Chain A
Amino acid sequence: EPEVTQTPSHQVTQMGQEVILRCVPISNHLYFYWYRQILGQKVEFLVSFYNNEISEKSEIFDDQFSVERPDGSNFTLKIRSTKLEDSAMYFCASSKSTSTDTQYFGPGTRLTVL
């Protein structure tokens, strides 16, 4: 069964450094999403992406964040200058052909900012 994959599974970085989290969505899916979950808190929406542009973003997704689909398979989340409060699990998701199709999630990347 096709699934969303994410790399790395765990990323440790120093405050102020740039990080790129990578995702490979399900191959025939057209909509891509990033969510995050701070330890012990709810899963929160960050951004959705379709047709090479952001279709929706939350208040969390400020200028420090960017997303890109650099090629036909990868979808990335970049944090330009990490802060301690960016430490969280980051989940990528994808859905098939409309934004209302079922979203399927990857296993997540645990980001630890020191």
Chain B
Amino acid sequence: DAKTTQPPSMDCAEGRAANLPCNHSTISGNEYVYWYRQIHSQGPQYIIHGLKNNETNEMASLIITEDRKSSTLILPHATLRDTAVYYCIVRATYQTGANNLFFGTGTRLTVIP
């Protein structure tokens, strides 16, 4: 079963920041938060991940609350090419044999011109 909850859809105006929320209230101390996106039917694309601290890379920023029960993915200046389904996934840091990523239904982000 999914360990995360995301809104099914969001809209964002082109050029504005897109803030995608994710709830993971049952997250364990050894679990990372990963974000992937899937544009149309292409392969999932890795965006960013984090454990406790906020993270930033060339694609996005990840803000994790202090209690780690929720996080927000921020696309600072959304473009039309950012229209995709965004998946928030929690995943253990140690080798449990649970190697797989569990994809929920994600958030369908539509960037509007």
Chains A and B come from one and the same complex: yes
In the bound complex, do residue B41 and residue A89 qualify as a contact, i.e. CB atoms below 8 Å apart?
A: yes
Residue on B nearest A110 in the bound complex, by CB:
B41
A109 to B36, CA, bound (A): 19
In the bound complex, do residue B100 and residue A108 qualify as a contact, i.e. CB atoms below 8 Å apart?
A: no
In the bound complex, do residue A105 and residue B99 qualify as a contact, i.e. CB atoms below 8 Å apart?
A: no
Interface of B is mostly: loop
In the bound complex, do residue B105 and residue A56 qualify as a contact, i.e. CB atoms below 8 Å apart?
A: no
In the bound complex, do residue A43 and residue B38 qualify as a contact, i.e. CB atoms below 8 Å apart?
A: yes
In the bound complex, do residue B99 and residue A31 qualify as a contact, i.e. CB atoms below 8 Å apart?
A: yes
In the bound complex, do residue B43 and residue A99 qualify as a contact, i.e. CB atoms below 8 Å apart?
A: no
Known: A42-B105, A44-B103. A55 touches B97 (CB 8 A): yes
CB contacts (< 8 Å) of A98 on chain B: these are 95
B68 CB within 8 Å of chain A: no
CB contacts (< 8 Å) of B97 on chain A: these are 55-56, 99
In the bound complex, do residue B99 and residue A108 qualify as a contact, i.e. CB atoms below 8 Å apart?
A: no
In the bound complex, do residue B99 and residue A99 qualify as a contact, i.e. CB atoms below 8 Å apart?
A: yes
Known: A100-B91, A100-B93, A102-B49. A58 touches B44 (CB 8 A): no
In the bound complex, do residue A104 and residue B42 qualify as a contact, i.e. CB atoms below 8 Å apart?
A: no
**B interface residue count range (under 10 / 10 to 19 / 20 to 34 / 35 or more):** 20 to 34
A33 CB within 8 Å of chain B: yes
Interface of A is mostly: strand
Residue on B nearest A44 in the bound complex, by CB:
B103
B101 contact from A4, A103, A106, Cβ within 8 A = A103
Using a CB-CB cutoff of 8 Å, which residues 33-48 of chain A contact chain B?
33, 35, 37, 42-45, 48
Q: Supply 13 further A-B pairs (C-beta < 8 A) apart from A35-B100, A56-B99, A108-B43.
A: A4-B43, A42-B103, A42-B105, A45-B100, A48-B99, A56-B98, A100-B32, A100-B95, A102-B34, A103-B101, A105-B36, A105-B43, A107-B43
